[in-house]
Copies of this chain bind each other. A is one copy, B any other.
């Protein structure tokens, strides 16, 4: 694959925001948009948006703006070459089940293709059309883009090791455990207790 220019981390993190916004513009049949308009609508700085869009798409027309269609295509290409991305969820507890029940995925190019657990007493149960499978069957699945880990903290690292050994390159980690992985594997953490704690500190620190 041809090497892309490296996009700064901070810009990458804003791409989903732009993606949603561009989608809404297309729905409203807007054809052309200026950076300043985007900035106002998203509550960002104008210069920042101009720079971001330049990095992301890089072909705005002075005096005119950006073609919405082109922006959408450029952003789509950045996000993924594939139309549908395959996700597995490991851990069929409360969080795992909630994810499988969530119906916002299909619309947004994510497809949950497997739900796994190691608890014999629930394997075989069906949650929203997904049969809970044994983790032993994990290796039968291929071409997985992202694994969601929603197991108890103390087995999280083991599960991560397994997932990495299968060649999966993206992990969404719902546990409290900091996962150690090779650095070509990307991990995002959703640590609810930490976020609650940070909220308390920020409240407390502001008085």
Contact = CB atoms under 8 A, between A and B. Distances in A.
Total identical chains: 2
Interface stretch (A46-54, A61-69, A79-87): A79-87
A198 B15 contact: yes
A192 B101 CA distance: 14
**Chain A interface size, under 10 / 10 to 19 / 20 to 34 / 35 or more:** 35 or more
A178 B43 contact: yes
A82 to B, nearest CB: 9
A142 interface: no
A130 interface: no
Tell which of A110, A178, A196 has the most Cβ of chain B within 10 Å.
A196
A172 interface: yes
A170 B201 CA distance: 10
Contacts of A176: 20, 104
A203 B170 contact: yes
Contacts of A129: none
Given A7-B205, A95-B98, A195-B172, A200 B1 contact: no
Contacts of A198: 12-13, 15-16, 188
A92 to B, nearest CB: 12
B79 A200 contact: yes
28 contacts: A6-B205, A12-B201, A13-B198, A15-B198, A16-B193, A16-B197, A19-B197, A42-B178, A43-B178, A43-B180, A78-B201, A79-B200, A80-B200, A80-B201, A87-B196, A94-B101, A95-B98, A95-B102, A102-B192, A110-B193, A110-B196, A146-B199, A146-B200, A171-B199, A172-B192, A186-B202, A186-B206, A188-B199
Interface of A: 1, 4, 6-7, 12-13, 15-17, 19-20, 42-43, 78-81, 85, 87, 94-95, 97-99, 101-102, 104-105, 108, 110, 145-146, 169-172, 176, 178, 180, 184, 186, 188, 190-207
User: Can you list the 4 inter-chain pairs with the closest CB atoms, starting with the nearest?
Assistant: A94-B98, A16-B194, A170-B199, A98-B98
